[in-house]
Amino acid sequence: MPHRTKPSKPSTETMGMDQRNWLDLPDDVTTNILDRLSVVEILENAQKVCTAWRKICKDPAMWRVIDMENLQGLANPRALEKMCMNVIDRSQGQLVDLSIEHFPTDDLIEFLAQGERSSQLRRLQISYCYGSLHKSWNDLFRKAPMLEEIALTFTTISEETVAEISRCCPMLKSFTYNNHGWRHSIGMDAADDFVISVAKGMPQLLHLQLTGNEMSNKGLQAILDGCPNLQSLDLRGCFSIKLYDSCGKLCKERIKNLRLPRDSMIGHKVAPYDSEDEYEDYLWDGYVGLYDDLLDDVGGGFDDDDGGFGPFGGFADGVADYYHLL
C-alpha cells in the first residue's frame, strides 16, 4: 500500500498572508479602489462595509470628480438626483468635474448653485436632459466663474444663457452643444441665431463642437469671425453648411483640427448609426444631398455628359474627395 504523505501545515508567513485585513491598507490605496466604483455602488454598498470605508467615502477629496453617466437601470431618476445632491454636498466646494446624464432637473442645478458648491467647478457635462432644465442655468453660471469646459448633449439652453456664460465664465475654453439635427429640429434661422450668440459671447474659445447643428454658412462665418483663436471645430452632421466656397477655404486655413459634416461619428454618443455598413449608407445619402445642393447653386446648368456634374463627374469627384465621401 503506497505511503500517503501527511499534508504539511501552512507556514506562519502563509497564514499571515491569508489573514491580512483589508482595513490595514493605506487610505490612499483604499481610495484608489473606491474610485473605480460608481456613485451608486459607493453609496448603496461600499460605504456600508465598515467605519473606515465610510470615513473615506465622506472625505470631500473623494468627490472632486463626480461621474453619473450610464447609470440608467441602477436606480430611478429621482433617486439618482438625490444621490447626486448627496455627493455634491460631500465635496464641500472642492468639486471640479461633474458629468450627469438623463436625470438632472432645475432642482439639482439650483442645488449646485447654492453657496460655494460650484465655486471651483472647471468642467460640466450634461446629457439627454431635454425639457427638464429651464430657469436654473443663469444662477449656476454666476456661481461657477472657474468653468473652462461646458459640454451639453441633447440639453437645451437659450441665447440669453449663452450671453450669461460669456459674462460669468471668462476662463471658458471649450464649448460643446450637440443638440439638434436628427432628433430635435429648430430650423436653420434659429440655429444660426444661436451660433451667432456663441460667436459673440465666447470669443476666447479654443475648442467648439456643434454636432448635428442646422446652421448655414451665415452661422459658420460668424464663428470664424467671432472666435479667432479656435484650434478645433467639429461640424459633423451640420449638413446645411457648404464648405466648397470661401468659408470652407477659411476653415481649412484657420482650424488645426477640423471635423467635416460627413466625417464618421462611429463611437460618438449622438451618432445616427452604429456600424461601418450603416455609416456607408448614411454617407451615400449625404453625398446625394450634396450633389442636389450643387445643382441648386448653379441652376442645373451643366450637362452630365460634360463630366462636370454627373454622380461620378470630375467636379463632383473633387467635391466628394474634399468631403471624404468617396
The neighbour count for residue 234, using CB atoms within 10 Å, is: 23
Query: Cell numbers 461633474 label which residue?
Result: 98
Q: Is residue 111 part of a domain?
A: no
Least confident of 88-92, 146-150, 274-278: 274-278
Please spell the DSSP secondary structure of 274-318, one letter per residue: -SHHHHHHHHHHHHHHHHHHHHHHHTT-S-GGGTSSSTTSHHHHH
How far lies 186's CA from each of 177, 179, 183, 190, in Å? 14, 10, 10, 6
**pLDDT of 317 above 50:** no
Q: What is the pLDDT of residues 102-117, one digit of tens each?
A: 887 888 999 999 999 9
Q: Is residue 278 part of a domain?
A: yes
- What range defines the domain where residue 308 resides? 273-326
Q: Is residue 19 part of a domain?
A: no
User: Is residue 105 helix, strand or coil?
Assistant: coil
Do 260 and 237 contact (CB within 8 A), yes or no? no
- Gyration radius (Cα) of the chain, Å: 27
Q: Is residue 302 part of a domain?
A: yes
**What pTM value is reported for the model?**
0.77
Q: What is the pLDDT of residues 89-104, one digit of tens each?
A: 999 999 999 999 988 7
Q: Is residue 108 part of a domain?
A: no
- For the record, the C-alpha cell of 51 comes out as 467605519
**pLDDT of 66 above 90:** yes
CA 177/CA 126 separation, integer angstroms: 10
CA 165/CA 176 separation, integer angstroms: 13
Q: Is residue 283 part of a domain?
A: yes
Interstrand relation of 174-178 and 207-209 (parallel, antiparallel or unpaired): parallel
Which residues in 118-136 are b (16+ Cβ under 10 Å) and which e? bebbbbbbbbbbeebbeeb
pLDDT band per the 50, 70, 90 thresholds, residue 315:
very low
Q: Is residue 280 part of a domain?
A: yes
Higher pLDDT, 262 or 204: 204
CA 150/CA 276 separation, integer angstroms: 30
User: Is residue 185 helix, strand or coil?
Assistant: coil
Q: CA torsion sign, 287 to 243 to 307 to 295?
A: positive
Q: What is the mean pLDDT of residues 219-238?
A: 94
CA 168/CA 172 separation, integer angstroms: 9
Q: CA torsion sign, 187 to 192 to 197 to 203?
A: positive
Q: Is residue 264 part of a domain?
A: no
Q: Give pLDDT, residue 8.
A: 55
Least confident of 81-85, 159-163, 170-174, 214-218: 159-163
Query: Cell numbers 460608481 label which residue?
Result: 38
Number of domains composing the chain? 1
136-140, 205-209, 276-280: which is most confident:
205-209
